A = this chain, B = another copy of it.
Amino acid sequence: MNWLDQVAWTADGLVPVIAQEKDTGKILMFAWMNREALQLTRDTGHAVYFSRSRNKLWHKGEESGHSQIVHDIRLDCDNDVVLVTVEQQGGIACHTGRHNCFFQQLQADDWVIVEPVIKDPKAIYHE
C-alpha cells in the first residue's frame, strides 16, 4: 500500500499535524495537511500545510519567509496524526511574531502570555 494511503485521513481528507522544533524539542504549531500537502512536504523537505480557513495549500513561510525545513516525519499508532520535526527559519513559527503558538499558560484561572513577540507581525507580513 502506498504510504499516503496508510494515513487515516478525516472525512475532509485532512490529517492533524504537530510541528516540533528539532533542536529545542519545543512544539511550534499545530496545523493540518491534505494528501497533496504531505506529499509535497516529503518531496520538497519543506513543510506544506493545508489552510482550512483559506481552503488551499499553505507553503509555510510563503509570506513570512519563516519556512520549515523538515527532518523527520512520523505517524502515530492510529495512523491519524502526523508529527514533523523541523528547523524553523527565522526562529518564528507563530503568526503573532512569537517563537511558537503555545504562548498562553494556564496560571490559576487565567491564560497568561508567557512568551515575547520577537518581531511585529506587521513587519513580517507587510500588511
Which residues of A pack against B, CB within 8 Å? 2-3, 6, 16, 18, 20, 24-27, 29-30, 42, 72-79, 81, 83, 94-96, 98, 101-106, 109-111
Contact = CB atoms under 8 A, between A and B. Distances in A.
B74 A105 contact: yes
Contacts of A24: 25
A101 B73 contact: no
Contact of A27 (B6, B20, B78): B20
B106 A73 contact: yes
A124 B42 CA distance: 35
Contact of A111 (B3, B27, B98, B110): B3
Given A3-B109, A6-B111, 6 more contacts: A3-B106, A25-B25, A42-B106, A72-B105, A76-B102, A77-B96
A25 to B, nearest CB: 3
- 6 closest Cβ contacts across the A-B interface? A25-B25, A73-B106, A76-B101, A74-B102, A75-B104, A30-B81
Which of A42, A75, A96, A109 gathers the greatest number of chain B CB atoms within 10 Å?
A75
